[in-house]
Every structure is written in structure tokens, then in C-alpha cells.
Amino acid sequence: MDDKLVKAREIINETDREMAALFERRMRAVRDVAEYKKEHGLPIFDETREKEVLARNLSLVDDEVLKPYYGDFLQHTMDVSKNYQRDISESEI
């Protein structure tokens, strides 16, 4: 296999490991948010907050070609988070 391909795949594998750890960290925080919202009768979906998160995080990406892909990634991540919050809100704390 081409050395460039091997190196790129190694970077992807390392990044995936890091992302898995960050995903778990993020979802633990999402659980805390869900529990707070459940205790205080707040809705899961907060459109204003979601727009703020998207805008703030999109500004962190300098590569204009990658920016819309990152927006999709963020939106999907928030959708996963909302689904997890719904599961928590429907369960016993």
C-alpha cells in the first residue's frame, strides 16, 4: 500500500479514538443537561441555543470548503444529543 494512504489511515484511526473519548465526555454533559431540564420542566429543544452553538462552532472552522460539512456534523451531533435527552426524560432519574 502507498505510504501516503497508510499514514492518512493512521491519522484517521487516531482521530477516531480521540473523537470517541470526546463523544463520551460530551454525552455525559448532555445527560447532566437532560436531568436538569427534566427536573425543571424545560423543553429538550431550544432553537435559540442550537443556532448559537452552530454559529459559534462554525466560526472555528477556517476552511470554507469544510465548513458546510462541519455544520452537518454539528447538526447530527445535536440531533443525537436531543434523542439521548428524550430517552433520559422518559426514564426515571
- For residues 81 and 74, give the distance between their C-alpha atoms in angstroms, rounded to a whole number: 10
Coil, strand or helix: which one is 90?
coil
* pLDDT the model gives residue 93: 52
End-to-end CA distance of the chain: 51
Q: What is the pTM of this model?
A: 0.89
Closest CA to 85 of 63, 57, 93: 93
Query: Quick one: pLDDT at residue 91?
Result: 85
pLDDT in tens, 53-83: 999 999 999 999 999 999 999 999 999 999 9
Residues 34-51: what's their mean pLDDT?
96
pLDDT at 92: 65
Averaged pLDDT for residues 40-64: 97
